[in-house]
Amino acid sequence: MKDVLTIGDAMITFDPTRNGPLRNVHSFERKAGGAEFNFAIGCARLGLNTGWISRLGNDEFGKYIRNFARGEGIDVSAVKLVDGYPTSLNFKEIREDGSGSTFYYRADSPTKTLTEQTLDVDAIRQTKILHITGVFAAIDPEKNLRLLKRAVTIAKDNGALVSFDPNIRLKLWDREKAQKSLSQLLPYVDIILTGVEEAELLFGVNQSDKIVAACERYGISTVAIKQGEKGAFGSMGGLSLMVPPRPPKKVVDTVGAGDGFNAGFIYGMLQGWSLERTLHFANTIGSMVVSVYGDNEGLPELGEVLVQLGEREYVER
């Protein structure tokens, strides 16, 4: 039985060796990333039994990503290498304040070969939480929406909770298509992990209490609203509260912070923690991620988070 399982694409990420517009960058460092991939790494580093369903190109990049995930302790038995589809790529542009932009090369993603017929049903039946995102849906909206509906139906039928991060990438699809497609998944969702702008796109409201009310109409019982430097708002079991952020030492790269928050929130739920403790824990991970360059390099192990929270002593030598 897995603690958590996710479905989605992974990419080779080319990180610039200097900040600024990519037209002025002449060299890059090869890394790996992707929303679901980062989430899986975050969960595994916290000690959760984590699985990942995906397809990668049968090329050197695909083998690198699969080996990377395996090395992190992620179950990759449902990750297949396929011929004829190159592993997806993206190039990152990082500005001086740590913010940035991403340029995708994933139109012919290997995950196009992941269908309802090839979906690993047994893996879904044997997980406590199935985590999905809007990124995977955006890659091939019609096919992947059908696949995700099948996956969440199987999960719910077998007693699993469904966690959902809208993670809307407007470079992959437009607002209208995203809203129409992702709204079809909401009736299956138990836990939503969203930003304010994504919630506004989905529900047409941007105030925390109204977002919670909109989620409740879909039967979503647990809501976490990520607000970056403002902290996070959560609602669960009739309790709603705002938790302040944990200021990072320095913001150098914001990519992956939301995925880290998600992993931390899911970890707290699986431990049966209070909403307040869960939000503090998730916020702390987000602040740790933005202090490190890379999509997932800053995702911490459990002991490192406990040190940051003051719950474990740090022994330097």
pLDDT, tens digit, 9 for 90 and up, residues 132-165: 999 999 999 999 999 999 999 999 999 999 999 9
Question: Considering only CA atoms, which of 111, 48, 34, 109 is closest in space to residue 269?
Answer: 48
Q: Sign (positive/negative) of CA torsion 177, 223, 197, 166?
A: negative
Instruction: Report the share of the chain in percent with pLDDT over 90.
Output: 80
Residue 228: what pLDDT? Answer: 86
pLDDT beyond 90 at 248: no
Mention every residue, 6+ apart, whose C-beta is less than 8 A from residue 221: 190, 191, 236, 237
Active site residue 259: yes
Number of H helices and E strands in the chain, helices first, is 11, 13
Answer yes or no: is 25 within a domain: no
Residue range(s) defining the domain that contains residue 240: 2-9+36-88+113-309
Alpha carbons 62 and 312: distance in angstroms, whole number: 38
| Residue 247 vs residues 215, 228, 313: alpha-carbon distances, Å | 29, 10, 20
Q: Per the domain annotation, does 170 fall within a domain?
A: yes
Let me know if residue 103 belongs to a domain: no
- 299 assigned to some structural domain: yes
| Confidence grade of residue 247 (pLDDT, cut at 50, 70, 90) | confident
**Would 100 be classed as within a structural domain?**
no
Distance CA 279, CA 233 (A): 8
In-domain check, residue 31 = no
Q: What is the CATH number of the domain that holds 228?
A: 3.40.1190.20
Provide the whole-model pTM.
0.94
CA atoms of 208 and 196, how far apart (whole Å): 8
The per-residue pLDDT for 106 is: 86
Q: Which of 75, 140, 190, 259 is catalytic?
A: 259
Burial class (CB in 10 A: 0-12, 13-18, 19+), 58: middle
SS (H, E, C) 261-295: HHHHHHHHHHHCCCHHHHHHHHHHHHHHHCCCCCC
Q: Which residue has the tokens 């995930």?
A: 69
- Phi then psi for 5, rounded to 5 degrees? -135, 140
| pLDDT, average across residues 276-284 | 96
Alpha-carbon span 149 to 165, nearest angstrom: 15
Number of domains in the chain: 1
What single-letter DSSP state applies at residue 186? G
* b/e burial code for range 145-159 (CB count within 10 A of at least 16 → b): bebbebbbebbbeee
Domain presence at residue 95: no
Q: For residue 42, give both structure tokens.
A: 């975050």
Which pLDDT belongs to residue 99?
72
Residue 107 lies in a domain: no
